[in-house]
Amino acid sequence: KLTVHETAAGSSTCFKYYHIDKRTGESVIFGDLFADNSGRDLLAEEIRRQMRERMKEDENAVFWLDEPDSGMNFGADFLANHQNFYFSSTGELVIPFDKYAVAPGYMGCPSFTIPPEVTERVLKAEYTAVP
């Protein structure tokens, strides 16, 4: 994990995660996790669900979901081949976003933990049980 924090008149934080498949020694990117692109749609749907839930629970939480400018609305196209991700200590897929990527800056760097029942449906078998 590489953390970059820039401060001038304002501040910005971003993270970059690097992954090495210990079996092959090869670098793994987000796009490598899926057998096909349909998995991105299911992950985006789960992330949108979590965004709506957070906004419902906290009136100060805002995510760009229903903006008039459709280019700002979170969707599967936000989950590019080089999307940041990591696996938690319990093996759950976590998808973090940089500040300003999916929400106003005051929301910081939001991340979303994808439940196993979703990842089991979308990830290649070799990535569903990562400890």
Chain-centroid distance, C-alpha 5 = 19
Using alpha carbons only, give the angle 44, 50, 52 rounded to the nearest 5 degrees: 100
Q: What is the pLDDT of residue 129?
A: 61
Q: What is the pLDDT of residue 68?
A: 62
Weakly modelled stretches of the chain, pLDDT under 70:
67-76, 129-131
